[in-house]
Structure 1
Amino acid sequence: MALKLITKQLQDLYRDIPDEYGLSAGPLEDDMLHWQAAIPGPENSPYAGGTFCLQITFTTDYPFKAPKIKFGTEIFHPNVEKDGKICMDFLQTEWKPSFSIGYILMAISSLMHTPNIENPADQDVANMYLNNQEEFVRIATEWTRTYAIRTTQECRPVTVPAVTEAL
């Protein structure tokens, strides 16, 4: 069931995500359980101008178990651990099988713009965000320039023609 649904969500992905998000995602090579995604830094955020790579790993229990998603690009953000793991309730305790990959990626993009300070992965970064916004923006912008300035093409998944043709 997992592979069939993942294949269907790949087919629907670009139809479901509005163009202004600029997101891309898909399987690496011919492995439908391992994807890579590219999320452009949202405008009017310290991440603007950067492209952030995400690694997505599905289990055979998907959609009943959330995929594991982490940033492959270093990011200074209250809801992202140093290893790239994203702290979002709906990826852990509030997961619903109805959440699509498109929905997840748009939610991560929104989180980049507006962090959830109520549930931080890094309390120090969250405190800086709350108490010293200027310093937070300075560091997050510096990290974006250092780690996330690349073309979206560098994060794009390698989509095998046989996979996309089968869709």
Structure 2
Amino acid sequence: EPAAMSAKRLEKELKDVRKAPFPGLRSLGPVDEANLFYWQGVLEGPEGSPYEGGRFVVEFDIPSDYPFRPPKNRCLTKIYSCNIDSNGNHCLDIDDTQWSPNLTIANLCLCYLGMLADPNPDVAKPWFNPAPYSRLARHLASSLL
């Protein structure tokens, strides 16, 4: 059964991330141990970025045929970013066509950290101005502490 295979994979990912967490990842795992298919991660704003000092919650709604389809994911924390919209949706190119079963939920967290560390204004509107953007992003990140 696909859901049982997915659950086994998720248990392995959870064990791996608990054994070897990485910088910027405060926590990652199921919100409720009884439901392996809904995770949240808490990411720390990268040093030197406008988000330094902030904490950002990301949700992962994992399909029963994971890892063959990617989890739906978005940032739940209000954030001012050229790469994350007001609903928490991101500009990552990881959809059904770009996703690989070799990727993990921890890999998605690293992608979020990359967006926070190095925002890509090319995906934003042409009027993007980095100085006011950084000031507002810094202000919002510090107000979330």
Could you state the TM-score of these two structures normalised by the residue count of structure 1? 0.76
Counting matched residue pairs gives: 140
Q: Which residue of 2 aligns with 1:24?
A: 27
**Displacement, 1:98?**
0.4
Q: Which residue of 1 aligns with 2:137?
A: 140
> Match of 2:53, SS?
coil
Q: Which residue of 1 aligns with 2:46?
A: 42
Higher helix share: 1
For 1:73 and 1:80, how far apart are their aligned partners in 2?
10
Contact 1:13 1:101 in 2 (8 A): no
Bigger RCO of structures 1 and 2 (CA < 8 A, at least 6 apart): 1
**How far does the alpha carbon of each residue in 1:11-57 deviate from its partner, in whole angstroms, 9 at most, with x for none?**
11133433x32431110112111111100000001100111111111
Alignment of 1:9-158 (within 5 A): 9-18=13-22, 20-29=23-32, 30-91=34-95, 93-118=97-122, 120=123, 123-124=124-125, 127-128=127-128, 132-146=129-143, 148-149=144-145
**Displacement, 1:92?**
5.2
For 1:134 and 1:115, how far apart are their aligned partners in 2?
13
For 1:76 and 1:88, how far apart are their aligned partners in 2?
16
- Structure 2: give runs of 5+ residues left out of the alignment: none
Q: Which residue of 1 aligns with 2:8?
A: 4
For 2:95 and 2:20, how far apart are their aligned partners in 1?
19
Change (3 A) 1:72 1:57: same
For 2:16 and 2:103, how far apart are their aligned partners in 1?
13
- Structure 1: give runs of 5+ residues left out of the alignment: 150-167
Contact 1:38 1:51 in 2 (8 A): yes
Contact 1:23 1:105 in 2 (8 A): no
**Displacement, 1:79?**
1.2
Could you state the TM-score of these two structures normalised by the residue count of structure 2? 0.87
Contact 1:17 1:106 in 2 (8 A): no
Over the aligned positions, Cα root-mean-square deviation in angstroms equals 1.7
Q: Percent identity?
A: 29
> Match of 1:80, SS?
coil
